[in-house]
Amino acid sequence: MAILGVGVDIVHIPRIAALLQRRGSRLASRILSREELSQWESLPPSDVSRQVRFLAVRWGIKEAAYKAMYPTVRPTWKELAYRGLSEGNACTKPALVYHPVAGTDNSRIGPIHLSVSHDGEYVFASVTIEILG
């Protein structure tokens, strides 16, 4: 197994909270894929901390994925979709799906592995991508 790249990202959750407070849900519409956005819209509006965590995790994972893929490809926010533990079979790992827009040469992007960790005000994300061919 050859590795295309490794990327990590650390997110200070209060920054996401502050941005959400200042700019409303623009961050969500800017970085979430279509499927993530529909999950986002189904989050209880009263549960702000869950909304903030949702965005912080996806921000961190996508940043980490960008670092892992760069410069072979430069993914954009909505080409990446995170599927967490609670969404589907409980016996699977969380997954990151890459759906490049038409015309992107993604022939070298192999399986994507990721891990996310939380502690207090921080989210940490790590993404490792295998190389194909």
CB of 29 to another protein, least distance (A): 9
Q: Does 88 bind another protein (CB under 8 A)?
A: no
- Spatial CB neighbours of 57, under 8 Å, sequence gap ≥ 6: 11, 82, 84, 116, 123, 125
Phi then psi for residue 54, to 5 deg, are -55, -50
- In the region spanning residues 90 to 119, those forming contacts with another protein, defined by CB under 8 A, are none
Candidate segments 38-46, 72-80, 82-90, 109-117, binder of another protein by CB under 8 A: 72-80
Cis omega (within 30 of 0) on the bond before 14? no
Which string of DSSP letters, residue by residue, matches 40-61?
Answer: HHHS-TT-HHHHHHHHHHHHHH
- From 54, 63, 82, 96, residue interacting with another protein (rule: CB under 8 A): 63
CA angle (11 as vertex; 90, 99 as ends), nearest 5: 55
Span near another protein by CB under 8 A; candidates 42-50, 76-84, 89-97, 104-112: 76-84
**Residues interacting with another protein, by CB under 8 A?**
10-12, 14-16, 18-19, 22-23, 26-27, 30-31, 59, 62-63, 66-67, 70, 74-78, 121
